[in-house]
Amino acid sequence: MADELVPVGEEAPKKKKSGLVMTIVGVLVLTLVGAGGGWFVGGMLAPSVSEAQAEKDKAAAAEHAAAPTAGGEHGGGEKKEDAGLPRVATAANGTVLLEPIMANLAYPTESWVRLEVALMFNGAPDAPLAETIHQDILAYLKTVSLQQIQGPRGFQYLREDLQERVDLRSQGRVSKVLFRTFVIE
């Protein structure tokens, strides 16, 4: 009965457009506007990122070209260096990367934590102080339970606790504790 017969002289009533079609059209228009905006903002940011990367590549190429290679054509005598922070104290950057810290948690005792941190010193790095801080962090991690460090809030509390312990131990000579890795198993 939906298709009723219309007398010859009269026009058939026009059907309204479906709400579903209008919704789809609206979503498509918004998607196109969002994609265009993302492309525009990406175009504004991309040149600065690519320029910085080009400068890094030039510096790395210059450093590689300046370093003499020992050995034959395969570079057999060339030593592979660690990418990242140096493991020893350097006066140039004032940062000391501590050895990885592995400890079992207080509860549950079968859970382990592995932590790599770097210490940023105010002024020249102090290797004996860094080793003392390393041992202090290890001792502290053995007193922590899994429930205390679970989730983002627990991790934040752990960071704050370690920063406070380092501040007390170093008497203000360490400005920051930088987390490199944090794994709970």
pLDDT digits (tens, 9 = 90+) for 112-139: 999 999 999 998 888 899 999 999 999 9
Q: What is the CATH number of domain 95-184?
A: 3.30.479.30
Provide the token pair at 145: 């339970």
Q: What percent of the chain has pLDDT over 90?
A: 51
Q: What is the mean pLDDT of residues 161-184?
A: 94
Give whole-number Cα distances, 125 to 134, 161, 167, in Å: 14, 22, 15
List helix spans (H) across the chain.
19-66, 127-141, 146-149, 151-170
Of the candidate ranges 15-24, 46-55, 57-66, 71-80, the one whose mean pLDDT is the lowest: 71-80
Give residue 171's pLDDT band: very low, low, confident or very high (50, 70, 90): very high
Q: What is the mean pLDDT of residues 20-32?
A: 93
Give residue 71's pLDDT band: very low, low, confident or very high (50, 70, 90): very low
What residues does each domain of the chain span? 18-78, 95-184
The highest-confidence range among 7-11, 15-19, 78-82, 146-150, by mean pLDDT, is 146-150
The answer, yes or no, to whether residue 80 has pLDDT greater than 80, is no
The highest-confidence range among 14-18, 28-32, 49-53, by mean pLDDT, is 28-32
Strand partners, 95: 120
Cβ burial, residue 35 (10 Å; 0-12/13-18/19+): exposed
Cβ burial, residue 45 (10 Å; 0-12/13-18/19+): exposed
pLDDT digits (tens, 9 = 90+) for 6-25: 666 666 556 666 888 999 99
Position 130 scores a pLDDT of 93
> Is 181:115 a contact under the CB 8 Å cutoff?
yes
The answer, yes or no, to whether residue 103 has pLDDT greater than 70, is yes
Mean pLDDT of the chain: 80
List, in order, residues 6 or more apart from 178 with CB less than 8 Å away: 95, 117, 118, 119, 120
What is the SS3 assignment for 95? strand
